[in-house]
Copies of this chain bind each other. A is one copy, B any other.
Amino acid sequence: MPDKGLLIILSGPSGVGKDTVLDYVNSENENINVSISLTTRTMRDGEENGLNYYFVTREYFERKLNEDAFLEFAEYGGNLYGTPKAPVDDMLNKGRNVILKIEVQGAEKIRKLYPDCVSIFILPPSLAVLENRLRGRCSDDEESIQQRLLIAKEEMKRSLEYDYVVINDDLKKAVGDVVSIIAAEEFKTSRNKNKIREVMNYE
């Protein structure tokens, strides 16, 4: 156990499989909590309040914004999305590891607030594979797919700002890679000063 929990940022372009990787990592490592964001968008079929998101009213979200309750927030398609600060700090202080699934701008903000955090960018094996995945999963028209790919490319360029890159070619391997990264970070000397002191504390 490290001295304090790790804050882990997970990013990657739309279609790369972040959610699936995250689900498996979460089920494989019992010391991980996934941070649940708040959103003002409508709940979709199959979604659950408190599992995928906390679904709240715009009025509630804006009140929380005024109370400075978010680590970061953004507006997409007329809906607000935000990462609540208190539960993240609470879990970290209890020594638990917390994963935030977040896009590149949000990651930039979190990195400034938590310079000690660990950031992982999930890449597709190639842009061609990402394009196929996007075509396979959405019923969008050609223009909209091209638009998504353009955004994906811009995001992927920013993978260089992350501590680690994991290529999601094989899901099982990608999950294992993320689990290894989290495990290794727990052995960083800088995170284990109390433990080293304990070992040495014997005359």
A residues within 8 Å of B by Cβ? 120-121, 123-128, 153, 156-157, 159-167, 177, 179-181, 183-185, 187-189, 192-193, 195-196, 198-200, 202
* Chain B residues with CB under 8 A of A163: 188-189
Bound CA span A2–B193, Å: 30
What are 21 inter-chain pairs, A to B, with CB distance below 8 A?
A120-B187, A123-B196, A123-B199, A126-B199, A126-B202, A153-B200, A156-B196, A159-B189, A159-B196, A160-B193, A160-B196, A162-B189, A164-B188, A165-B187, A165-B189, A165-B196, A166-B187, A167-B195, A177-B183, A183-B184, A184-B184
Secondary structure at the A interface, as helix, strand, loop or mixed, is helix
* Chain B residues with CB under 8 A of A189: 121, 159-165
Bound CA span A164–B202, Å: 22
* Chain B residues with CB under 8 A of A128: 202
Question: Known contacts A123-B199, A126-B199, A202-B128: does B192 contact A165 (CB below 8 Å)?
Answer: yes
